[in-house]
Amino acid sequence: MQVMLTYLVYEKQHKLRTMMKMHGLGNGPYWIIYYAYFLILSTVYLVLFVIFGALIGLNFFKTNDYGIQFVFFFSFINLQIVLSFLAATFFSKVNTAQAIAYLYIFGSGLMAGSLIRNFLEGGKFPRHWITVLEIIPAFSLYRGLYELSQYAIRASETGNPGIQWSDLNDHTNGMRDVMIIIIVEWLVLLPVAYYFDYAASVGNSSGLLSIIKRLLRKNPTWRRIAVNEVADNDVHVEMEKLDIIKERETVDQVLQQRNSGYAVVCDDLKKVYHGKDGNPDKYAVRGLSLALPYGECLGILGPNGAGKSSFISMMIGFSKPTSGNAFVQDFSIHTDMENIYNSMGVCPQNDMLWEMLTGREHLQFYGRLKSLSGSALDLAVEESLRSVNLLLGGAADKQVRKYSGGMKRRLSIAISLIGDAKVVYMDEPSTGLDPASRKSLWTAVKQAKQDRAIILTSNLQPMSIPSLALGHSCFPSMVAIKPLVLFGIFAAHSMEEAEVLCDRLCIMVDGRLQCIGRPKELIARYGGYYVLTMTTSSEFEREVEDLALKLLPNARKVYHLSGTQKYELSKQQVRIADVFMAVENLKRRVEVQAWGLADTTMEDVFVKVATGAQSSDELS
């Protein structure tokens, strides 16, 4: 039981089960697969155990009827499996589950061993109370073993056979009662365990109280609802931008009508993590409203802690929204996650793969979950493998444990797209890929988005923390710079990915959308300036600053990192020829190691919007 429990909790903890569910594995099939798996393993073990016992001449096995032994052990195995499923519902940590299971098995075995024997042989303890005790599985197991051993001892003394089917009518032995108790308990607990397991898998929390609450909760109405409405009580002066207001209006309109043609609609979605040990609540997502039509790829950009993962987690059923609602193909994420899973694909931030299976086997498995079979499945698997370059060199038929990080990433993308998933979430899809693989992956995603909606997230500060630490120790000039300012420097491939793949982009900071629109629109809106970048040795930094201010007195310094400075110069107020001339003059006096003048890029927009949002948060 301990092994089964540990396995079930491990799988839950590592979200493999949710991953399978997200790709269409229903609760029923999940149960049948795992029940059958544990039953087959345990039955093989049981049969070998009895055969081995009989072969080495143990009377316990040799003298008692094999049919009775089988029914007794087999029904007890079934009860153990159901108990493991039931117990796994209430644990979220493998170690806790292991420790409690160990204590239970050890404690109850010890108690049952000493008590049942004393009660039965002492003759003073009322018989019906012994039957009541046998409701506890360890007691029923011990009682059965006790009766079998008594028959075996008598058989070896008298030369008669051990327990036979006719002996079950003899009320002086408790064998029949024990078998009935075990079978009835199994039949009663089977639906209970299934129901609790289902309730736990619908939400992210597996505490007993939250499961009971979830079971008691009435279904909310179809459209706009506020579940556990939470007041965002940190004071925030919110000046919503026009694009955000327009998106909210679109959401309002879409919510008025059914069959809107929108693949994803989020309505004021909020996620609050309740503070523990005296810490304040954390508002991870603060009222997100979005409407995403089919055929569109939406990129969500943001620094660490912006709330991207919390948002995706709610959308894919890992966690429940604190308030608000979202509809995927008109199904609510509160009540219809099972339906949503039928046509959803997910490429998680961390690859969730089985090390022992090949890439092809993964795709065959997930393809089958998406109801593909026969030649359609073979074709889909072949196309998926080709689209992510996993056919080369027999990679498709190698076990995943032999894959490089990039190959695993490509396989995760292929899994998310197989079976015509209509809504696909990709969390930093090309992380860890070399440029060639990245390009081929982009081609695959571009082809895939024709008739589906894709939400792609990108984290834009992979190196900010080590760089900041470096800056503090080696580059005093950097100390005053906010970490956010650094994001833009290292975000090149994420930005390129967002621009290449996404029809629209939104930037999220501190749980709020800061802007949303087509990449060119955003650049036009937040751009309108040239970016002058110049690197000199640190003694000439002042000259560079003077040059920028001479060109434009209100030039904005975007960052300053150890000799490299970056300024924004308004296109209306500065002529390119003047910039070139000023730089040539400067080069005569100081050594300019590198310089450049560029039009606004998406990267600049991100830095501008993100820093702006951070400053306004600090002000409020």
Ligand X SMILES: Nc1ncnc2c1ncn2[C@@H]1O[C@H](COP(=O)(O)OP(=O)(O)OP(=O)(O)O)[C@@H](O)[C@H]1O
Nearest to ligand X of 505, 579 (CB atom): 505
Mark residues 182-221: x for contact with ligand X by CB under 6 A, - for none.
----------------------------------------
* Distance between CA atoms of residues 205 and 234, nearest Å: 26
* Distance between CA atoms of residues 25 and 364, nearest Å: 13
Dig out the tokens for 383 from the structure.
Answer: 């196309």
Phi, psi of 283 (to 5 degrees): -90, 95
User: Which of 282, 398, 557, 571 is the binder for ligand X (CB under 6 A)?
Assistant: 282
At closest approach, how far in Å is the CB of 512 from ligand X? 11
At closest approach, how far in Å is the CB of 515 from ligand X? 16
515 strand-pairing partners: 507
At closest approach, how far in Å is the CB of 350 from ligand X? 11
| 398 in contact with ligand X (CB under 6 A) | no
Q: Which of 457, 429, 427 is nearest to 443 (CA)?
A: 429
Q: How many CB atoms lie within 10 A of CB 161?
A: 14
Q: Which amino acid is at 32?
A: I
Q: How many CB atoms lie within 10 A of CB 275?
A: 10
At closest approach, how far in Å is the CB of 514 from ligand X? 13
Residue facing ligand X at closest CB distance: 309
Q: Which amino acid is at 78?
A: N
Q: How far is CA 56 from CA 42, 67, 151, in A?
A: 21, 19, 18
The crossing angle, in degrees rounded to 10, of helices 492-501 and 435-448 is 20
User: Which of 459, 464, 611, 614 is the binder for ligand X (CB under 6 A)?
Assistant: 459
Nearest to ligand X of 25, 284 (CB atom): 284
Nearest to ligand X of 310, 535 (CB atom): 310
Distance of CA 498 to the CA centre of its chain: 22
Residues making up the chain, counted from first to last: 620
Cα torsion through 108, 114, 119, 120, rounded to 10: 100
Cα R_g (the chain), whole angstroms: 32
| Number of residues binding to ligand X, judged by CB under 6 A | 12
Nearest to ligand X of 49, 273 (CB atom): 273
Site for ligand X in 284-323 (CB under 6 A): 284, 302, 304-310
At closest approach, how far in Å is the CB of 318 from ligand X? 10
At closest approach, how far in Å is the CB of 309 from ligand X? 3
At closest approach, how far in Å is the CB of 220 from ligand X? 24
Nearest to ligand X of 176, 282 (CB atom): 282
* Distance between CA atoms of residues 386 and 311, nearest Å: 31
User: Which of 37, 66, 165, 273 is the binder for ligand X (CB under 6 A)?
Assistant: 273
Nearest to ligand X of 131, 204 (CB atom): 204
At closest approach, how far in Å is the CB of 322 from ligand X? 12
Nearest to ligand X of 282, 571 (CB atom): 282
Nearest to ligand X of 284, 288 (CB atom): 284
Q: What is the DSSP letter of 358?
A: B
Query: Given the rule CB under 6 A, which residues bind ligand X?
Result: 273, 282, 284, 302, 304-310, 459
